[in-house]
Structure 1
Amino acid sequence: MSETLGDRAVATGRMVAGVSSMHFLKLVEQHQNIGFWSCEVESGLSSASLGVFKLLLIDPTENFSLAAMIALLHPQDRGLNDDLWEKVKAGTPSHRTFRIIRHDRSVRWVESMIEVLLDRDGKPTRALGMLVDITEQHELRQSLELCQERYRVLVRSVARMEWRTDQRGRPQFNSAWTAITGQTETDATNEGWLNAVHPDDRHRTIRLWREAHDLQATFSASFRLARVSGQYDWFHVRAVPMMRNDRSVVEWVGVLLQQDEFNLVPRDEAVEADFINARQIRAARASLNWTLEELSSRSGVSVSSIRRIEGEAQHVTRKSSLEALRKAFEKQGIEFTRNDSGRCSIAFIAD
């Protein structure tokens, strides 16, 4: 007759039942920095496993007591945990994390869990405790928190805000966005954030974002953004996809920079009368029949930089480069103008 799953379970139960719990306790303590203790509430008589003596670095020949453990507490944690014994006598379980100072002066972080057994009348009779050394986990958590704080400080020093989206590109609301634009979370959802972007910049901005999202490429764009006051200021935004090993996107992480704080202007827009945009550069070069190499020679701007500028790649260009190009054209009689509606054009200056 074949053995059923139930038969195996019963046989396994008998086998486990035939092993002393001390064997399991020893196995756990050999592989984990953990210990167990027990204490009679009325008499205070206590006992502990070898794991406790090892964790606390106390002599196994000494009697263990909850008071002796409390005496090892770090001074800064002692006041918060002086009530451990009172909790036991009240029949209240506890779960604490604290530091201990061992006899060799080493400091360890310990997680303490205490359960209290009650008699039929609900009176506490015995406390059962477990101590776990969590020093490595605590130090790792502190290290991660320090790294995160360094990241936040760095972002705050260079950007107006950090922003994130989920893997589908849906923005996670950020209160800093409200501080800048006045938009609430409801206003910004479902691409509502675009309403804060200048109407002339919206189509280009959303096109670039969707292209970057579809290609899982870096998103980079410059646009005018409405402040709470109603004034438009130039901002630059960059974001990159965070990916798993299989190249699937986990989320997008980006920053929003105010451009005038970095002496930068957008590549494809004229911000001031002294600066020119990509369309004007292409038109002026065509009017003069200049090659990229000739414009580079006359302006001092590299060919690769001019090519990127004319391609309207959405990142920012230094003012010095745009000014050098403008001056090179003006020496040949080209004038750059912008009418009241903001539309830019070029013209030859009459002799």
Structure 2
Amino acid sequence: MPTRSLMRKMPEGEIVISQRAVSSRHFLKLIEDTGKVGFWSADLESEMIEASPGLYRILGLDPDEDISFSIIMDMIHPEDRAAHGDQISVLRAGQSVCREFRVIRPDRTQRWLLHQADAIIGPTGRASQGIGVIFDVTAQHDAINSLMQRHDRLNALITATASVFWINKANGEPSEMPQWMALTGQSYGEMQGLGWLDAVHPDDRARTFAAWTTAVEHTAPYNTEYRVQCADGIYRWFNARGAPVLNRDGSVREWVGVCLNVPGRNRYGAPVPETGGSGTVTPDLPVSDGVLTPGQVRAARGLTNLSKDELAARANVSVSTINRLEDPGSSVRPRADTILAVRCALERAGVEFTFEPGRKPGIREV
């Protein structure tokens, strides 16, 4: 190994660096060549600094120029000077320094520096010498600022478009849903498990539960609409959308999503019918000739030679939705807009649905 050539054993068995092979100057040069670190030592009385080439590079100064503490302190950003302009005094008091601040270099560029220094106590008991190392940490700050900027943009977008932003655990159970709690008036304990469904309109619960469990079981995006009983006791329509956040191995880390307020309208823009005296809502399909039956869907899919997967993809719905549409015994009826999307997909594939008086609903080729 290359490092073995730099080592030799002393008679007592101790291992030391071979002075003939390398010196500490070689190590310092290797470190400083990264462009991210520089060293200094100084007489604290004279304030004059002996700086390494790396420090000159970080500060953007001419290597032939003498450096003093005052020169470096004058380079500190005006907004940071009040908090970090006392570093000489701190070292003279015999204390260590560990500070992070900005400097403005002679070329007017700004850099973030991490300064660590120690005072060396002289024979008189006073701090007479100082040594330190300065790291250029601009890249780390730029990365943090970029991340914070994206975070702020996301928050602004969510605030402008969504009533609720939610985070659920990997198994689908609620995790962080403070806006849901504010919207519905539910407590943290009340919404745990499937408790959040208690705030969903009774007529929408089975369908909402089926859509959510299907998404969780298949690690698929979630998109459905339901009415929520808000804290003021009024039911309002919301479009809930979510997606899984995956780990590197493909497992689900968590779920994130939003609830978008759609007052007075469903997802496709058709007016939501008024609630009758019984409190139930009959979906109003924007078609006048009837609602698709399970037999019609099965027959139309057979006539167009579409598989369930192909039809689901064309209608932008889940395969489980197609299964429910074709199952006459299903207790969960898809939303009106979902049925409409499936119908339009089948009609584009070349069939026409018939609803003739006195006859059963049927289909025919276009």
Greater helix proportion: 1
Return the letter of the residue paired with 1:199.
P
Per-residue CA deviation, residues 166-203 of structure 1 (Å, 9 max, x unaligned), is 33323322321222112233332333322322333333
- Corresponding residue for 2:291? 281
Q: SS of the residue aligned with 1:282? A: coil
8 Å contact from structure 1 (residues 108, 135) kept in 2:
yes
Q: 1:220 aligned to 201, 213, 223, which one? A: 223
8 Å contact from structure 1 (residues 39, 126) kept in 2:
yes
- Corresponding residue for 1:13? 15
Equivalent residues in 2 for 1:111-260 (5 A)?
A: 111-118=114-121, 123-260=126-263
8 Å contact from structure 1 (residues 222, 314) kept in 2:
no
Normalised to the residue count of structure 2, the TM-score between the two structures is: 0.68
8 Å contact from structure 1 (residues 173, 185) kept in 2:
no
Q: SS of the residue aligned with 1:88? A: helix
8 Å contact from structure 2 (residues 9, 16) kept in 1:
no
8 Å contact from structure 2 (residues 114, 137) kept in 1:
yes
* Length, aligned pairs only: 312
Over 3 Å counting, the alpha-carbon distance change for 1:283 and 1:263 in structure 2 is closer
Equivalent residues in 2 for 1:309-324 (5 A)?
A: 311=325, 317=337
Return the letter of the residue paired with 1:201.
D
- Corresponding residue for 1:344? none
Over 3 Å counting, the alpha-carbon distance change for 1:277 and 1:261 in structure 2 is closer
Return the letter of the residue paired with 1:238.
R
* Superposed displacement of residue 238, structure 1: 1.0
The 2-side partners of 1:169 and 1:88 are apart by: 55
The 2-side partners of 1:43 and 1:99 are apart by: 25
Higher relative contact order (CA 8 A, sep 6+): 1
Query: Equivalent pairs: percent with the same residue?
Result: 30
Return the letter of the residue paired with 1:22.
R
The 1-side partners of 2:232 and 2:104 are apart by: 57
Normalised to the residue count of structure 1, the TM-score between the two structures is: 0.71
* Superposed displacement of residue 213, structure 1: 0.8
Per-residue CA deviation, residues 241-262 of structure 1 (Å, 9 max, x unaligned), is 1224542223222111112176
Q: SS of the residue aligned with 2:100? A: strand
Return the letter of the residue paired with 1:167.
A
- Corresponding residue for 2:364? none
Return the letter of the residue paired with 2:88.
W
The 2-side partners of 1:259 and 1:161 are apart by: 12
8 Å contact from structure 1 (residues 56, 102) kept in 2:
yes
8 Å contact from structure 1 (residues 38, 126) kept in 2:
yes
- Corresponding residue for 1:41? 44
Return the letter of the residue paired with 2:291.
I
Q: SS of the residue aligned with 2:231? A: coil
* Superposed displacement of residue 265, structure 1: 7.1
